Amino acid sequence: MDLGLSGKTALVAASSKGLGKACALELAKEGAHVMLTGRNEEDLQRTRAELLLHSTGKVEYVVCDVTNPQLLSMAVKQTVDVFGTIDILINNAGGPPVGKFEQFTDEDWVRAFELSLLSYVRLIREVLPYMKKQTSGKIINLTSSSIKQPIPGLLMSNTFRLGVVGLSKTLAMELAAYNILVHTVAPGRIATERVRALDEIKAKQAGISVERVELESRKAIPLGRYGDPEEFGKVVAFLASEAASYMTGSTLLIDGGLVKSL
């Protein structure tokens, strides 16, 4: 299937590794021009080189901390300067710290808010003028399966990820007149560094091996395994494509059947 992504421009936040990288890679494979962002320039350089091996489009990067509004604005401006416009925005950010309610201060909550929700708001605000001008665009907000089933120990993620869903559903209605389509995509147990780190924390707390934690986690997943980042990226690429032209406001779980809610 031709997804109609060749020549489109995608800005992918927090894309030097993990799920952001997986999304960027699948878009690059389809011929999209991709702007990577991340805090570590060496990681960005390696990811750019990897994507170029698979891409027929252009791949560039900008060093950017998503909690810094000035850097977010610069990333959008640089994307437009290099590629001419922005057709696709993939909002993504690293997860907030693990912990229980009484461990967190006001400062912790503010930092988590800026990372997991306000960064999405700010990037959407920055790209909207370009998408409105061309009366088209795709905004895809990456969250977590915690939007359907809270994850123990991830209090702040459980809280702010739901705000992203509310943002996405509301914007889907507000922006439909401009043919700007908005989605939320929620990963379950995808084999990334973040999930590995969470498994290591859980193993340490329980006094068991990481392998035991992974085994128990796989037992709870009907497909019996963690997802591959590529599998997640392909779903995002589909939503960003012309093949999903009559979809907006959707919330998709990519979790191997882990979440049991309706």
Percent of the chain with pLDDT over 70: 100
Predicted pLDDT at 85: 96
- Tens-place pLDDT, residues 56-76: 899 999 999 999 999 999 999
Q: Please report the DSSP string for the chain in residue order.
A: ---S-TT-EEEESS-SSHHHHHHHHHHHHTT-EEEEEES-HHHHHHHHHHHHTT-SS-EEEEE--TT-HHHHHHHHHHHHHHHSS-SEEEE--PPPPPB-GGG--HHHHHHHHIIIIIHHHHHHHHHHHHHHHTT-EEEEEE--GGGTSPPTTBHHHHHHHHHHHHHHHHHHHHHGGGTEEEEEEEE-SB-SHHHHHHHHHHHHHHTS-HHHHHHHHHHTSTTSSPBPHHHHHHHHHHHTSGGGTT--S-EEEESTT-----
Percent of the chain with pLDDT over 90: 97
Predicted pLDDT at 262: 82
Q: What is the mean pLDDT of residues 7-32?
A: 97
Confidence of residue 134 (pLDDT cuts 50, 70, 90): very high
Q: What is the mean pLDDT of residues 163-183?
A: 98
> What are the domain boundaries of the chain?
9-190+228-254, 191-226
Predicted pLDDT at 17: 96
CATH architecture type of domain 9-190+228-254? 3-Layer(aba) Sandwich (3.40)
The predicted model scores a pTM of 0.96
Residue 1 has pLDDT above 90, yes or no: no
Confidence of residue 261 (pLDDT cuts 50, 70, 90): confident
Confidence of residue 159 (pLDDT cuts 50, 70, 90): very high
